[in-house]
Amino acid sequence: MDMRTRIGSALKDAMKSKDAARLSTLRLINAAIKDKDIALRGEGEDNSAGVGDADVLGILGKMVKQRQESARAYEEGGRLDLAERERDEIIVIEDFLPRQLTEDEVSAAVDKAIVRTDANSIRDMGKVMGELKSQYTGRMDFGQVGPMVKARLAS
């Protein structure tokens, strides 16, 4: 079952069960996906089926990051009620994301990508990151992986 179908059926379930918080978050997810569809249409790309699962995973990952930053900002501002709401949204969004890789699994994936792309200098970092993104979108934090790849290629 593709991501859009899973999100759509979860939206219907939330409506039936009258779970307002979950319903609100699922509607935000749908809106973000539709925004991406419209943006791609504006670029002239042929996306009659809309964005793919990899794009949806990217959108969901971005949404989680945004909410983590917001929750941190709310905590620093003393608004614990708003921080808690952001964390609740993160839980709903993460239901649709695949399991995150452990540090050891990320390290092994980086090593494999370096070997697969035959990377041997910092100039090859883009190839390695592209390889990782094609296989592990939504399963690792590329903001943390970038410095790891850079360190391995620099040595």
Q: What is the pLDDT of residue 26?
A: 94
Q: What is the pLDDT of residue 100?
A: 82
Q: Which domains does the chain have, with CATH numbers?
A: 3-94 (1.10.1510.10), 103-154 (1.10.10.410)
Q: What is the pLDDT of residue 47?
A: 58
Neighbours of 45 (CB within 10 A): 9
Token pair recorded at residue 36? 């991406």
Q: What is the pLDDT of residue 49?
A: 63
Say if pTM beats, i.e. exceeds, 0.85. no
Q: What is the pLDDT of residue 24?
A: 94
Residue/partner pairs of 8-16 with CB below 8 Å, 24 or more apart? 10/95, 10/96
Q: What is the pLDDT of residue 57?
A: 84
> pLDDT (tens digit, 0 to 9) for every residue of the chain, 155 residues total?
688 889 999 999 999 999 999 999 999 999 999 998 888 887 766 556 677 887 888 888 889 989 999 999 999 999 999 999 999 999 999 888 888 888 889 889 999 998 998 888 888 888 989 888 888 877 888 888 888 888 888 87
The continuous run of DSSP H or E covering 32 comes out as helix 20-42
d(CA 155, CA 145): 16
Nearest alpha-carbon partner for 140 in 31, 65, 48 = 65
Residue/partner pairs of 125-131 with CB below 8 Å, 24 or more apart? 125/149, 125/150, 125/153, 128/153
